[in-house]
Amino acid sequence: MSQKTSNEMWGGRFASGPDAIMEEINASIDFDKRLYREDIAGSKAHAEMLAHRGIVTAEDAERIVAGLTEIEAEIEAGTFTFSRRLEDIHMNVEQRLAELIGPAAGRLHTARSRNDQVAVDFRMHVRGAFTALEAKLGDFIAALLDKAEAHAETVMPGFTHLQVAQPVTFGHHCLAYVEMAARDRSRCRDALARLDECPLGAAALAGTGFPIDRHMTAAALGFSTPTRNSLDSVSDRDFALEFLSVAAICATHLSRLAEEIVIWSTPQFGFVRLSDAFSTGSSIMPQKRNPDAAELVRAKPGRINGALISLLTVMKGLPLTYSKDMQEDKEQLFDAVDSLALALAAATGMVRDLTVNETAMRKAAGHGYATATDLADYLVRELGLPFREAHHVTGRAVSLAEKSGLGLEDLPLDVLKSLDARIGEGVYAVLGVDASVASRTSFGGTAPENVRRQVAYWRQRLAAE
């Protein structure tokens, strides 16, 4: 086959034929250069351990560490030249080290492989991502607590099936998202505990015959212990899957809040207003005020969930130990890290930014006979009716109110007495939305005093964590 025919088969982008395609599919430097700090830290720890164990000389180790420090400075200054020909961050750093210090650079790779090298680099990077996520969730919770405290008494409708159900407070509603974010933080901590093992020293897959000290490198890199099985050490990506799982759940929580902000900010609801910082206008309709930040947060789970499914699919059929398929583990995770960080920042900003229309919320809370359950509770508590009978009587009261075009609290007493003659004037005390929320004093309920107690609890807990 002629060269021209070969090139036409491979396509115009790959003018050099199969070699260009191999470089394109094999190289990972375009994205794994993000691991340079972890790669250099791992190499420094490895070099110092090799010198400590007498595997390389102290002089060579010192030159290696000094060279790695210089490389890190070059990368951070933007003067380092990354080469796709060298495939990945490991070989790019190693090649530059050889240019800086000569043959001593070749001793760095003693008793290790790119398999355990990438495993420790990636694990350290995910550890950092978990730590950063936990901190960002703390900021999000703090914003929600501020809003909850400010609106501990602000009455709004609570919904089931997006239909008005019972009055609640906006502060209580904010605290529901505090609970979600707190679970996300706990998942971060749980995953960090499992991640806290260092794979460096597992080498290619079977360990090494050199007298290395894996506990030394583990401690130097901030791990509590080395991993215990060399095969699993180089093939495990559970830590990445766990991050993506946590990220997917967290993004789902943020998306639910974003959806509520989108709904609440419509003229039909008018519960909240976002400032220009989190809204945009229309190119053609001057009256429009679009909650674009909320809509984009609502969309983020699409790519984060996709990243989780992508890595699960990559890993599901891989035999032990390392396969090149696992190079597909990083781009998706990096994108998820960035997407979630942006979504959390936007959600935190929107919570702090939004203005609550207390009048609109209160008015809506009284619609849909939201205090019907309070009437049923009154009949049980004051008249001794079984709840099922009270439910039936209340249903009749709602029917009468609907036919008259009145709220429950507007029904005349004689109409209520027609349902049960024992109903007295005291019934009106339970039919207002303020009385309704104030009565929900059970632990975890919406009463303003409960909201304030929960805010205090979460502030104390955040300060202690």
Any idea which residues carry the catalytic annotation? Answer: 161, 282
Name beta bridge partners: 168.
156
Cα 82 from Cα 94, distance rounded (Å) = 12
3-state secondary structure 246-312: HHHHHHHHHHHHHHHHHHHCCCCCCCEECCHHHCECCCCCCCCCECHHHHHHHHHHHHHHHHHHHHH
Residue 360 in tokens = 């609109």
Which element (helix H / strand E) includes 342?
helix 330-353
DSSP letter for 319, please: P
> Are 297 and 254 spatial neighbours (Cβ–Cβ below 8 Å)?
yes
Torsion angle, CA of 133/136/142/144, rounded to 10 degrees?
-80
Amino acid in position 34? R
Q: In terms of Cα–Cα distance, which of 399, 396, 391, 392 is closest to 374?
A: 391
- Which residue type is seen at 399? S
CB-facing half-sphere around the CA of 211: CA atoms within 13 A? 6
Alpha-carbon distance of 46 to 52, in angstroms, equals 10
Distances (CA, A) of 2 to 6, 17, 58, 186, 364: 6, 11, 56, 61, 76
Q: Is residue 166 helix, strand or coil?
A: strand
Q: How far apart are CA 271 and CA 264, in angstroms?
A: 5
Rounded to whole angstroms, the Cα distance separating 438 from 152 reads 11
Record the tokens describing residue 152, joined without a space: 């501990």
Give the containing element (helix H, strand E) for 396: helix 387-404
Placement of tokens 């998306």 in the chain: 255
